[in-house]
C-alpha cells in the first residue's frame, strides 16, 4: 500500500537494550499520524528507523511500496524537523531554505521562486535575510518547517518540534501544522509525549509504551474509550 508500513520491526541497541519490540503499523498516504507515549518508550527510535538514521534490527519498513531497509536516508523521499531545529547558524533564512534545493541542482531562479512561495505560506517572508540567532523560537520553528517542506517530500517527519515553544505559541503552531498537512496532503508522522498535542493534531494516534505499540485509533475513539 502507498504510505508507510512498519512490519514486525524491532530495534536492539548495541548494549542489548530492546527499544522497539515487534512494531506493526500502516500509515496512509494522507494521514497525520501522531506517535505518542512517555519519555523513553521508543518513539524517537521508531522515527529514526523510518528516516534511515538508525538501522533496523529485524523486520521491514516500506515507504510508498518500496522496502527501504537498505535505502540511505537521503534517498527516502522524506524530510525531518528535529526538536532543536538544527538550522545552519552561519546561513540566512533564505540560504537555509534554499540549501537542499541547491544540492539537488535546482536553478537559482527556481530556488528563489520556491523559497518565496514557501516563506509566504508560512508567514516568514520578511525574515529571509536574517540569521537563525536573530529569530524568535516560533520563527525558527517555522523556518525549520519551511526548510523541510520546500523539497516537497512524500513523507514529513517531526520529533517534538514544538516542545521549545511557550504554551501560547505552541497552540498556534499546532493549528498551523494541522492546516499545513491538510493543504499539502503529505503523510505527516509526528512524535510527541504530549497527549493534548496528539489528540488535537492527529488524524490517528499510535500509543507506545516500553517499546510496544499498544493502540492505534482516531482521536474520537481514544477520547470515548481511553
The residues binding ligand ADP (CB under 6 A) are 13, 15, 17, 19, 37, 39-45, 83
Helices 167-184 and 108-122: angle between axes, nearest 10 degrees: 130
Contact of 65 with 3, CB cutoff 8 Å: no
Q: Give, as one character, the DSSP assignment of residue 54.
A: S
Instruction: Return the number of the residue (17 or 225) whose C-beta is nearest ligand ADP.
Output: 17
**CB-count burial class (<10 Å; 0-12, 13-18, 19+) for 89:** exposed
Least spacing, CB of residue 189 vs ligand ADP, in Å: 13
H/E element, 18: strand 18-27
Adjacency order of strands within the sheet including 212-217: 78-81, 155-159, 187-192, 32-36, 204-209, 212-217
Instruction: Return the number of the residue (40 or 123) whose C-beta is nearest ligand ADP.
Output: 40
Which residue's Cβ lies closest to ligand ADP?
A: 44
Least spacing, CB of residue 85 vs ligand ADP, in Å: 13
How large is the C-alpha radius of gyration of the chain? 17
Instruction: Return the number of the residue (122 or 198) whose C-beta is nearest ligand ADP.
Output: 198
DSSP secondary structure, 62-97, as one string: EETTEE-TTS-GGGSSEEEE-TT----TTS-HHHHH
How far is CA 157 from its chain centroid?
2
Instruction: Return the number of the residue (41 or 143) whose C-beta is nearest ligand ADP.
Output: 41
Least spacing, CB of residue 67 vs ligand ADP, in Å: 22
Instruction: Return the number of the residue (55 or 182) whose C-beta is nearest ligand ADP.
Output: 55
Least spacing, CB of residue 221 vs ligand ADP, in Å: 23
Least spacing, CB of residue 48 vs ligand ADP, in Å: 7
Q: Are strands 187-192 and 155-159 parallel, antiparallel or unpaired?
A: parallel
Least spacing, CB of residue 11 vs ligand ADP, in Å: 8
Instruction: Return the number of the residue (45 or 186) whose C-beta is nearest ligand ADP.
Output: 45
C-alpha cell at 132: 537563525
Amino acid at each position: 500500500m502507498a504510505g508507510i508500513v512498519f512490519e514486525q520491526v524491532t530495534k536492539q541497541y548495541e548494549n542489548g537494550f530492546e527499544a522497539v519490540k515487534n512494531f506493526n503499523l500502516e500509515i496512509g498516504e494522507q494521514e497525520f499520524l501522531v506517535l505518542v507515549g512517555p519519555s523513553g518508550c521508543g518513539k524517537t527510535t521508531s522515527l529514526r528507523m523510518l528516516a534511515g538514521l538508525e538501522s533496523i534490527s529485524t523486520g521491514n519498513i516500506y515507504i510508498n511500496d518500496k522496502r527501504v531497509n537498505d535505502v540511505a536516508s537521503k534517498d527516502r523521499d522524506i524530510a525531518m524537523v528535529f526538536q532543536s531545529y538544527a538550522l545552519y547558524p552561519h546561513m540566512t533564512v533564505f540560504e537555509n531554505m534554499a540549501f537542499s534545493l541547491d544540492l539537488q541542482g535546482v536553478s537559482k531562479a527556481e530556488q528563489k521562486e520556491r523559497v518565496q512561495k514557501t516563506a509566504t505560506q508560512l508567514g516568514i517572508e520578511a525574515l529571509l535575510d536574517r540569521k537563525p540567532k536573530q529569530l524568535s523560537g516560533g520563527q525558527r520553528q517555522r523556518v525549520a518547517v519551511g526548510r523541510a517542506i520546500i523539497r516537497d517530500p512524500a513523507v514529513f517527519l517531526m520529533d517534538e518540534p514544538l516542545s521549545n515553544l511557550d504554551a501560547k505559541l505552541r497552540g498556534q503552531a499546532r493549528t498551523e501544522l494541522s492546516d499545513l498537512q491538510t493543504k499539502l496532503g503529505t503523510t505527516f508522522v509526528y512524535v510527541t509525549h504530549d497527549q493534548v498535542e496528539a489528540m488535537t493534531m492527529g488524524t490517528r494516534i499510535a500509543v507506545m509504551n516500553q517499546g510496544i505499540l499498544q493502540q492505534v485509533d482516531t482521536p474520537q475513539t481514544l477520547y470515548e474509550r481511553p
